[in-house]
Each structure stands twice: as C-alpha cells, then as structure tokens.
C-alpha cells in the first residue's frame, strides 16, 4: 500500500488551509491498516486520523503519519421486524450512507443529510443537526488502538455521547482509528420535522416521507451554509454554550430575543450564533478571515488565509462574548 511523503493537505481540508504532512496513507481495509501500524518505520512518530477534513483546522505542517481510512463497504449485519442493522466502513462518505438508507426507506439519519465528512468521524463529535444526533442510531463502534493493535467494540453507552462530544474526543482521543460503525435504523420511520425550518418546508405535506425530509434539509442547508468549494469553512466553528440557570435567566431578562434551550437540570444551552451576532461580528472580515453573513457560527477562510489568522479571530470572538455576556464559548473544530 502506498505511503505518500510530504503530502499536500490543502485540498484535503474544507478550510482550504495550506499544510503538509510528513506521511499520508489511505488503507482500504483493517488488514491494510494493521500492516501500516505494525511497520517499525511508523512506530515512534505521531499519528493522526483524518476523514474528509471538514472539522479540522491546521495551524501548521504535521510531522507524523496521517491515516485516512478508506474502508468503504456497507453491509446489513442483522434485522428484525422493526430494525435494520447497517455496518458501514469509516471511509464511506457520510451523505452516501444517508442516501443509501433513505433510498431503502430506513429511517433515523435523514435529518443528518448533507453533513460533510466520513462515517468514521460521525461518532467522534456525535454529529447533529435538525433535531437529530448520530448517537440516536449508533449501535456499535469498532475501533483499532495504535498501541498493541487491539480491536475494540464499543456499545453506544460506552461511547459516552454528549452534545458534540464522545469518548473519542476524550480518553480515546488520538489513541486509534474508528474502522466501522453499525447503525440501527428503523423499518417504520418516525418523521422528525419539528425544527422550525423543516416544519415550514413541510407545510402542506400531509404525510411527509423520510425522502422528503432529506430533500428539504439538503435544500435548507444549501441556502444557509457556505459551500467549502467556494469559500473555506468548517461549518459551525463554535459549540453552543451550556450555562447555569441563574445566568441564563439573568441574560433573558436583559435580552428578550435570546432563546434558551433546556439542557438538563438547572442548565440551559444558548445559541452561540446569537451571542456572536450581538457582538457585531456577523458578516465582518479581518484580512483573509471573516464571519459568515447568514450564520455567525461559521468562520470563513478566504484564499490565502492561515490557521493562525483563524485562531486569532476565534480568540477575539471568545474574549468579546465573555466580556459582554460572561459566557464562555469554545471551538467545535479540531485544532491541529
């Protein structure tokens, strides 16, 4: 299998940032992955896994080996009267999996239509959109450790999913490769069209199908979000902050238009986009970086932008939000 040297990553990250990696490889099976990882040449160097690079910010060159799992098979492993168990390789393009499921009438991931990236990355931050999260359908995750090449299988509970969070962003961060994910999809799909935009798009449709939900969400996303092929971005740059009840209510009293979303006992999630917008950043540009005019959560990397410029802009935003609202926001994007 080919190991590329001094590999250019500019076309491999949706922010379009310039960076090289010392080594790069695309194993097509677990066996190929094991063969590389047991090669002594790569034992001592840093290793990193990368899917489509749609949630990664490179601040410079990478001095180790980047592994892009290219395991692309999709297979039914089990089924009963209600569910299909679908096992997909880490390298399957996420939206292809959604299309595959929706075309067959299997429900559960249609609200996650058109999210960029690979299947292997979906459990990492528990991707979510339009009232659904990957964790709602993930049945098990197969994972190969760098150390000792141990095959592990994690149940949904063991993945410890949270809002844009999982064990793969914590204890298992940088420790190995997700090779397969098995999803439990419903043969009798329940339509999840509660989100305002989706509700609007479905107006007049008496019994929407998952196909129509997928179509509506893809079209809403295409209108709202910038296309990385046109201007570099990584989707939402920041997570929505969760704050305690007393701060949330205090803010609500001062700002009637602030929406609060209950997030567990005595806590509320606040829309980071609203906070950033109120601080005046929406639609702004500094040098080669800026904030999207339609969605303040999305930072833009124009041609020639560097990771450092983006980090500086994000720090300015974080500081301004803290000073104005006493709320800490943090990046969702993985900074390397």
Ligand X SMILES: Cc1cc2nc3c(=O)[nH]c(=O)nc-3n(C[C@H](O)[C@H](O)[C@H](O)COP(=O)(O)OP(=O)(O)OC[C@H]3O[C@@H](n4cnc5c(N)ncnc54)[C@H](O)[C@@H]3O)c2cc1C
**Residue 99 bears catalytic tag:** no
Choice from 108, 116, 241, 307 touching ligand X (CB under 6 A): 116
Q: Does 121 interact with ligand X (rule: CB under 6 A)?
A: yes
Determine the residue with CB nearest ligand X: 51
Report 148-187 residues binding ligand X (CB under 6 A).
Answer: 168, 177-178
Choice from 57, 234, 243, 279 touching ligand X (CB under 6 A): 234
* Closest distance of CB 68 from ligand X, Å: 8
Reduce the DSSP state of residue 192 to 3 states and report it. coil
Active-site residue, selected from the candidate residues 164, 184, 214, 309: 164
Between β-strands 62-67 and 47-49, what pairing exists: parallel, antiparallel or unpaired? parallel
Stretch that binds ligand X, among 24-32, 101-109, 120-128, 275-283 (CB under 6 A): 120-128
Choice from 52, 99, 142, 309 touching ligand X (CB under 6 A): 52
Which structure tokens are listed for 30? 């677990």
Q: Does 36 interact with ligand X (rule: CB under 6 A)?
A: no
Phi, psi for 272 (deg, rounded to 5): -60, -35
How many CB atoms neighbour CB 308 within 10 A?
A: 12
- Indicate the DSSP class of residue 319: H
| Closer residue to ligand X, CB minimum distance, 125 or 137 | 125
- As a whole number of angstroms, the distance between CA 297 and CA 187 comes to 35
Choice from 37, 84, 90, 141 touching ligand X (CB under 6 A): 90
Q: Does 334 interact with ligand X (rule: CB under 6 A)?
A: yes
Q: Does 27 interact with ligand X (rule: CB under 6 A)?
A: no
Instruction: Specify whether the CB–CB gap between 232 and 313 falls below 8 A.
Output: no
Give the torsion sign (CA, 95, 25, 49, 336).
negative
Active-site residue, selected from the candidate residues 54, 236, 309, 314: 236
In the chain, the DSSP E strands lie at 3-8, 20-25, 47-49, 56-57, 62-67, 74-79, 83-89, 128-129, 132-133, 138-145, 151-155, 176-186, 242-244, 261-262, 267-269, 285-286, 289-291, 299-301, 334-335
| Closer residue to ligand X, CB minimum distance, 56 or 88 | 56
**Residue 158 bears catalytic tag:** no
Choice from 17, 33, 37, 49 touching ligand X (CB under 6 A): 49
**Residue 254 bears catalytic tag:** no
Instruction: Specify whether the CB–CB gap between 30 and 150 falls below 8 A.
Output: no
The binding site for ligand X (CB under 6 A) comprises: 14, 48-56, 69, 90, 115-118, 120-122, 124-125, 127-129, 168, 177-178, 225, 228, 233-235, 334
**Catalytic residue annotation:** 164, 236, 332
């Amino acid at each position: 299998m080919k190991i590329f040297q001094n590999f250019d990553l500019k076309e491999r990250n949706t922010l379009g940032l310039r960076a090289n990696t010392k080594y790069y490889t695309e194993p097509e099976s677990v066996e190929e992955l094991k063969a590389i990882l047991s090669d002594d040449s790569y034992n001592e160097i840093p290793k990193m896994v990368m899917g489509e690079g749609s949630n990664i910010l490179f601040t410079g060159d990478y001095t180790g080996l980047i592994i892009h799992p290219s395991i692309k098979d999709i297979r039914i492993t089990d089924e009963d009267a209600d569910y299909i168990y679908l096992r997909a390789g880490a390298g399957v393009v996420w939206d292809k999996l959604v299309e595959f499921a929706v075309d067959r009438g299997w429900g559960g991931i249609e609200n996650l239509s058109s999210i960029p990236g690979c299947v292997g990355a979906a459990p990492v931050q528990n991707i979510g959109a339009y009232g659904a999260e990957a964790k709602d359908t993930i049945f098990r995750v197969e994972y190969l450790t760098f150390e000792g090449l141990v095959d592990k299988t994690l149940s949904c509970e063991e993945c410890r999913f949270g809002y844009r969070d999982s064990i793969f962003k914590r204890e298992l961060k940088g420790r190995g490769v997700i090779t397969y994910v098995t999803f439990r999809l419903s043969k009798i799909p329940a339509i999840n069209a509660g989100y305002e935009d989706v509700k609007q798009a479905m107006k007049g449709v008496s019994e929407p199908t998952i196909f129509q939900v997928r179509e509506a969400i893809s079209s809403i996303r295409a209108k709202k979000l910038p296309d990385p092929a046109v201007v570099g971005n990584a989707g939402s740059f920041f997570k929505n902050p969760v704050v305690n009840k007393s701060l949330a209510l205090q803010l609500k009293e001062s700002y009637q238009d602030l929406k609060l979303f209950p997030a567990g006992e005595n806590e509320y999630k606040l829309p980071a986009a609203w906070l950033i917008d109120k601080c005046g950043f929406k639609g702004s540009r500094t040098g080669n970086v800026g904030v999207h005019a339609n969605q303040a959560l999305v930072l833009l990397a124009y041609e020639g932008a560097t990771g450092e410029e983006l980090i500086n802009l994000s720090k300015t935003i974080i500081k301004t939000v803290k000073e104005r609202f006493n709320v800490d926001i943090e990046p969702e994007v993985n900074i390397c």
